[in-house]
A and B are shown apart, each in its own frame.
Chain A
């Protein structure tokens, strides 16, 4: 088959099984767009801002496990995409981002819409390529998909100068389904000796706890994790990124840990003697002050990326490997061993955990007339089923969603954890909805965050995406305001949102349904009404209590055991 560079791209995406391409056209990618139109190979989704293209591809990926793909033009198209690329990088999400570039002959001459895309993206990609010869194009694309999706996943940028896609230059093309790279061979199998050593330690443990993260979701290891945790009867806590990998409703689940984690999860971490970290990277939001982090624990750490291990916290038993592979091996070894876990000690441990649970750290006053954000999330959980996908923006609403929506399945909680990108929620929801056309998708957001990519309401209209937008409108950049209340004596510098649009009218102007609710008593009814509109995007603007704080909270510099709980005064 003789194809032009542009046709190779269209054909390759088809051969690679790419379902959607999220993009936005411009001069440098016009040949590609023309080829895409004629080839009709993948469905192209026209976003309204390149940041949204990357977030939508990202949401698609997080909810399916497949690689998300975006296409943007050179210069401003590429720079607009950077936030989305960095967002995917920090959460280890596999993306391939195709960026147009000026023709090879003028690279470096400050040509129209030229930026050094490889240079700009280098620190926030797993890898990037500049295609300098059309003969390298197909292989480079194959490498990009291979690198993005294997090992510790991440975004890969392929920068494609315009002359590489020239419709008049045709070369032979064959699809390469597998690729080898001498410099890239990610390890997947854990070392059996290390796994055995870990298991022995686990079986001797008196106060063990599983600390699981996004790696379990990324590695599709939910089933093996569930089997192992239940088999051992150990308590388990999860990071923000791992929620859903283990069912929240299960008795053994302690809730999220970390800065806004539950009392029982953080106390169990503090007192544990054997910590089993699985696909989690000891982020500072999780560890709190390092000196007080799990002071008495022996630490086992399973991670596919050696550089995640002993990065901030020194571990005792490192296991480099794919989570699912390691956990499955553990289950097999357990079948063969005579050794049993210390059931007596575990009984006491669970007794202690029960005591901590009695604090009921997530309680709040449900009898208010005005709307508590926590209440909206609890009702959202009630109204939707376990198969609903919830995306979120960044701020207090994100934490409330993580704490009060009880996730039962992996890949159903979609949020930006590492970069904390406001504006992620709506475009991510588009990618999720496109991947799961008949499923419920809701985006929990705030009046600050939603305005960062509000233009995507037009994309939602064009492609008829019936997302439900749950806007927790506190008229504040709430998360910032909370910090100012706690650490700046209540000086609210620039955290107040003025000139907030009428979201109901705004939604309507895009052709969607808008609703506003300001009474607690109306929350459930409004949600039911909205979710009953199966084929419409509904924007529900919940006017919530203004100065709500997210509790529990471990303040910066404090230890895990120094959590602050909601003061009683807030509970009446």
Chain B
């Protein structure tokens, strides 16, 4: 099963490689990983998407907790009733005159923004769940997509439960 694990990490050089190294050394898989400093600059917040059996996920959280640089973590699929996840994508599309209306229409439907326009290329910014981003991509044929860049999933618990020191 797919799990989203939120991690508060010491903002130390090498902390990220400890997490990445753990996953490769123990052959766990990482679907996506995002990390950036928090409001407290001594810590980073990481969201890690992984999948595996219940036993493997249990080992993953135990092994992560064992890393000295991990301050705290939550498996959002276990520790809270509901969570929200979001991912952001920038997608660069061929935009010949004939398909501009279609791009604008789809962007509107998906609540995206066209953030850059040149002679025959549009760049769209889109935020949502990974499925939503996938669906947007699927709405275009491969030939018209020049480039995509995705942030990876960020997650947060609904309601009052929160991951902090």
Contact = CB atoms under 8 A, between A and B. Distances in A.
Contact of B21 (A122, A127, A310): A122
A181 B71 CA distance: 9
A127 B21 CA distance: 13
B14 A307 contact: no
B138 interface: no
Contacts of A231: none
B68 A184 contact: yes
Given A119-B17, A122-B18, A310-B55, A147 B62 contact: no
B14 A118 contact: yes
A181 B68 contact: yes
A127 B66 CA distance: 10
Given A118-B14, A123-B21, A123-B25, A306 B62 contact: yes
Interface string A114-125: 000011001100
B58 A310 contact: yes
Contacts of A311: 59
Given A307-B63, A310-B55, A182 B71 contact: yes
B157 interface: no
Interface string B6-39: 0000100110011001000100000000000000
B56 to A, nearest CB: 10
B46 interface: no
Contacts of A306: 62, 65-66
A130 B66 contact: no
Interface in B44-94: 55, 58-59, 62-63, 65-66, 68-72
Contacts of B21: 122-123
Give the most central of A130, A181, A182, A314: most B CB within 10 Å: A182
Contact of A126 (B59, B62, B68, B165): B68
Q: How large is the interface on B (under 10, 10 to 19, 20 to 34, 35 or more residues)?
A: 20 to 34
A179 to B, nearest CB: 12
Interface residues of A, number: 18
Contact of A307 (B13, B18, B59, B68): B59
A181 B42 CA distance: 13
A123 B66 CA distance: 13
Contacts of B10: 183
A148 to B, nearest CB: 11
A310 B63 CA distance: 12
Contacts of B17: 119, 122
A182 B71 CA distance: 7
A147 to B, nearest CB: 6
A182 B63 CA distance: 17
Nearest to A151: B66
Contacts of A307: 59, 62-63, 65-66
A310 B53 CA distance: 13
A225 to B, nearest CB: 25
B55 A305 contact: no
Give the most central of A118, A130, A307: most B CB within 10 Å: A307
B66 A183 contact: no
Interface string A160-198: 000000000000000000000111100000000000000
Contacts of B58: 310
Nearest to A186: B66
A307 B66 CA distance: 8
A315 to B, nearest CB: 12
Contact of B68 (A119, A147, A305, A314): A147
Contacts of A183: 10, 68-72
A202 to B, nearest CB: 25
A307 B71 CA distance: 17
Interface in A370-416: none
A123 B71 CA distance: 19
A183 B69 CA distance: 6
Contact of A130 (B14, B63, B65): B14
Nearest to B62: A307
Nearest to B72: A183
Nearest to B58: A310
B13 A127 contact: no
Contacts of B14: 118, 122, 130
Nearest to A314: B55
A307 B69 CA distance: 16
Interface of B: 10, 13-14, 17-18, 21, 25, 55, 58-59, 62-63, 65-66, 68-72, 165
Given A183-B71, A184-B68, A310-B55, 9 more contacts: A122-B17, A123-B25, A127-B68, A182-B165, A183-B10, A183-B69, A183-B72, A305-B66, A307-B59
13 contacts: A122-B14, A122-B17, A122-B21, A123-B25, A126-B68, A130-B14, A181-B68, A183-B69, A307-B62, A307-B65, A307-B66, A310-B55, A311-B59
